């Protein structure tokens, strides 16, 4: 017979879908890693991970080099991605460990996970609102499976009030079943450094405008490139344009524009977080003219590094930037260009934006975000 004391000390078994950790960390991978790391160190739950297989071990970002080539091949072959997804589903049918709660940080619970409760994070509805910006294979998969699987969730977490309103409009969930939890940043990494101490293994222009994100249509890089081309000759001579982020999809035209103007445009590709924090510090201005974001982590990272920010006024971005950034119309190349010039030509404004951005960024921490996740997990586990 199990003693009462033993029953009282038994931890709830929580399974975290960590497949996003198997690729270079972008937004969702970063979110999954930062929350899962703190959940595990908190020791409130018995944390387990699902990578297509079950494990007690969390993949560290440094491990990505071991699988980078494999994941890049998989992304380029839609049929292979379909086969892998079917194998994952088949494996969950064959092997059935049981969990008290399953957390899916990336929009759609995996089928056949044996669990009492399900919590899902839905970041945005870009696959519906901007289906043309996604690979065809991804849209087909989500259209076929998202609506059926999302309603297995007992609770949904999302990163902004903007996204919560979309969820309530599009899904059959009550207001108290959708919890807004803002993302955070690593303030030990993304902060203001002494410029003299910053070192990179590659060269950057002396002065530059920076944008960060995967090379894909939703990020509106085409609009930014056209806006940059409209800047005055003097500004383009003084400030080059630097892009950081891995090659996403539907990007042939964008890459061609970059290749045709290498004198003024520098594409760095994927960079580490340490390199990224350095680049933010060195940048004169950060520009993020994205059409649609569920949160907008790069805006927060730039502010935390003291970099003035120009970003679009769409979707969730005003929730992140508050009154500390200059907003532009993502659909207007002229407006993007004007707002860039407006900030670059006003040194006093830059200083004001830098100071206010630093202060606002302190409100967003992964520690605070993790504690809010814990509250949600406890609430769901307590419900019969």
The pLDDT score that the predictor gives to residue 192 is: 97
Contacts 24+ apart (CB under 8 A), 40-43: 42/370, 42/374, 43/11
Instruction: Enter the tokens of residue 279.
Output: 């680049």
Burial of 130 (0-12, 13-18, 19+ CB in 10 A): middle
pLDDT score at 69: 43
- Strands, E assignment, 188-325: 208-212, 240-244, 265-269, 285-288, 309-312
Kind of pairing between the strands at 240-244 and 208-212: parallel
Helix (H) or strand (E) holding 188: none
Domains of the chain: 7-184+365-382 (3.40.50.2000), 195-361 (3.40.50.2000)
Determine the longest span between alpha carbons in the chain, in angstroms: 81
Q: How far is 146 from 339, CA to CA, in rounded Å?
A: 38
CB-based contact 169:122 (threshold 8 Å):
no
Q: Residue 50 pairs with which residues in a beta bridge?
A: 17, 54
Distance separating alpha carbons of residues 157 and 90, to the nearest angstrom:
27
From residue 320, alpha-carbon distances to 121, 160, 183, 191, 364 in Å are 18, 9, 10, 17, 9
Q: Which of 115, 184, 4 has the alpha carbon at shortest distance from 380? A: 115
CA–CA dist 217, 168 (Å, integer): 26
* Structure confidence at residue 87 (pLDDT): 56
Whats the size of the chain, residue-wise? Answer: 384
What pLDDT is recorded for position 91? 53
Tell me, what's the pLDDT at 65? Answer: 41
Kind plus residue range of the DSSP H or E element containing 102: strand 98-104
pLDDT score at 123: 94
Give the dihedral sign, CA 182/186/188/193. negative
pLDDT, one tens digit for every residue, the chain (384 residues):
455 444 456 899 999 999 999 887 778 999 999 999 999 988 899 999 999 889 999 988 754 444 444 444 444 555 545 555 555 555 555 557 899 999 999 988 888 899 999 999 999 988 877 766 666 777 777 777 888 899 999 999 999 999 999 999 999 999 999 999 999 999 999 999 998 888 898 899 999 999 998 887 888 999 999 999 999 999 999 999 999 987 665 667 778 888 888 889 999 988 989 999 999 999 999 999 999 999 999 999 999 999 999 999 999 999 999 999 999 999 999 999 999 999 999 999 999 999 999 999 999 999 999 999 999 999 999 996
Tokens of 66: 């071991």
Contact 366, 38 (CB under 8 A): yes
């Amino acid at each position: 017979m199990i003693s009462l004391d033993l029953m009282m000390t038994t931890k709830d078994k929580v399974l975290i879908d960590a497949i996003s950790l198997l690729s270079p960390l972008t937004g969702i991978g970063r979110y999954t890693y930062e929350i899962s790391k703190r959940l595990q160190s908190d020791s409130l739950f018995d944390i387990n991970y699902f990578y297509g297989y079950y494990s007690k071990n969390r993949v560290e970002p440094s491990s990505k080099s071991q699988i980078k080539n494999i994941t890049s091949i998989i992304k380029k072959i839609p049929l292979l991605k379909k086969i892998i997804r079917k194998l994952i589903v088949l494996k969950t049918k064959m092997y059935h460990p049981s969990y008290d709660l399953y957390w899916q940080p990336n929009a759609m619970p995996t089928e056949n996970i044996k669990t009492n409760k399900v919590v899902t994070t839905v970041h945005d509805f870009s696959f519906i609102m901007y289906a043309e910006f996604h690979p065809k294979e991804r849209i087909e998969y989500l259209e076929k499976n998202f609506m059926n699987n999302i309603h297995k969730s007992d609770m949904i977490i999302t990163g902004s009030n903007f996204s919560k309103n979309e969820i309530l409009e599009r899904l059959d969930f009550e207001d108290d079943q959708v919890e807004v939890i803002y993302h955070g940043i690593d303030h030990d990494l993304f902060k203001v450094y002494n410029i003299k101490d910053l070192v990179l293994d590659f060269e950057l222009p002396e002065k530059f405008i920076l944008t960060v994100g995967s090379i894909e249509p939703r990020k509106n890089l085409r609009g930014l490139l056209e806006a940059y081309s409209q800047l005055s000759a003097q500004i383009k001579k003084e400030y080059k344009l630097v892009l950081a982020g891995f090659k996403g999809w539907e990007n042939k035209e964008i890459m061609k524009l970059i290749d045709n103007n290498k004198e003024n445009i520098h594409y760095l590709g994927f960079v580490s977080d340490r390199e990224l924090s350095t680049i933010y510090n060195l940048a004169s201005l950060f520009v993020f003219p994205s059409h649609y974001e569920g949160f907008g982590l790069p805006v927060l990272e730039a502010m935390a590094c003291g970099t003035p920010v120009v970003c679009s006024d769409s979707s969730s971005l005003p929730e992140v930037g508050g009154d500390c950034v200059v907003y532009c119309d993502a659909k207007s190349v002229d407006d993007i260009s004007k707002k860039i010039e407006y900030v670059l030509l006003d040194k006093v404004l830059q200083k004001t934006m830098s100071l206010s951005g630093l202060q606002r960024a302190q409100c967003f921490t992964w520690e605070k975000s993790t504690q809010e996740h814990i509250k949600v997990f406890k609430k769901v586990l307590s419900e019969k």
